[in-house]
């Protein structure tokens, strides 16, 4: 086979071949079943960070979780990419649970606290500046820089959960009685564990109270 692929990608091809064979060995119908449909119950909105792979962390196979990732797991009301993912997941795939998952030590969050310059991406993470300003009192109580980063990682997730709840897609789904939960989690790079940020919603009814409770816990 002639190929222009860089050498480093050859190993990926080799990995892929082995993986596909392994999957078939475990279940001969694996791909023929998947090709027909995907029926994921979950939408994962996480960080692009290479250390936070959605499927592996929650132990789900291909077909089981619909995934959107961007730098610092943000849900911006004018971001057509993320909004389209949410819309397709909720309206078409009918996922039952949306998970916003941040992670401790997030580079995007750290960059905001450091006010470091990284180019275009600074504009993307600028939204976290608002969260930082909004919760400056909470953040000022953190002992050191690392704990401030981690606290802002949590606060960022909580903010994004409320953003998800405020999208027209999720509001409409709840209004027509569709079963849908929105949840905020944070992942520890240091131990591989997920933590619940206690902001799970199945309607907009208690959004304000749950938000306040999650922020202050």
Query: Which residues in this chain contact Co ion in the complex, by CB under 5 A?
Result: 47, 49, 106
Is 79 labeled as catalytic in the residue annotation? Answer: no
Distance separating alpha carbons of residues 130 and 123, to the nearest angstrom: 12
As measured in angstroms, the least distance from the Cβ of 106 to Co ion is 3
As measured in angstroms, the least distance from the Cβ of 108 to Co ion is 5
Closest CB to Co ion among residues 90, 106:
106
Catalytic residue among 51, 77, 134, 171: 51
As measured in angstroms, the least distance from the Cβ of 214 to Co ion is 20
Is 47 labeled as catalytic in the residue annotation? Answer: yes
Q: What percentage of the chain's residues is helix, strand, coil (to nearest 5)?
A: 50, 15, 35
Alpha helical stretches, state H, 27-144: 30-36, 54-57, 80-87, 107-114, 121-134, 136-140
CA nearest 99: which of 164, 191, 150, 159?
164
**42 and 90 in contact (C-beta within 8 Å)?**
no
Is 172 labeled as catalytic in the residue annotation? Answer: no
Closest CB to Co ion among residues 174, 187:
187
Is 51 labeled as catalytic in the residue annotation? Answer: yes
Catalytic residue among 106, 135, 150, 153: 106
- Positions marked catalytic: 47, 49, 51, 103, 106
């Amino acid at each position: 086979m002639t190929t222009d692929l860089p050498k480093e990608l050859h190993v990926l091809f080799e990995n892929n071949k082995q993986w596909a064979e392994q999957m078939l060995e475990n279940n001969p119908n694996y791909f023929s079943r998947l090709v027909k449909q995907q029926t994921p119950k979950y939408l994962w909105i996480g960080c692009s960070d290479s250390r936070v792979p959605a499927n592996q962390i929650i132990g789900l196979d291909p077909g089981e979780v619909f995934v959107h990732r961007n730098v610092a797991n943000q849900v911006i009301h004018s971001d057509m990419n993320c909004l389209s993912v949410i819309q397709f997941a909720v309206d078409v795939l009918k996922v039952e649970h949306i998970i916003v998952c941040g992670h401790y030590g997030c580079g995007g969050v750290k960059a905001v606290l450091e006010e470091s310059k990284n180019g275009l991406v600074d504009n993307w993470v600028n939204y976290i500046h608002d969260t930082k300003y909004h919760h400056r009192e909470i953040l000022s109580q953190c002992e050191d820089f690392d704990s401030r980063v981690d606290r802002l990682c949590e606060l960022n997730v909580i903010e994004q959960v409320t953003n998800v709840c405020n999208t027209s897609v999720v509001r409409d789904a709840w209004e027509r009685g569709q079963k849908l939960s929105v949840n905020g989690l944070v992942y520890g790079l240091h131990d591989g564990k997920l933590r619940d940020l206690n902001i799970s919603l199945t309607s907009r009814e208690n959004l304000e109270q749950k938000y306040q409770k999650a922020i202050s816990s």
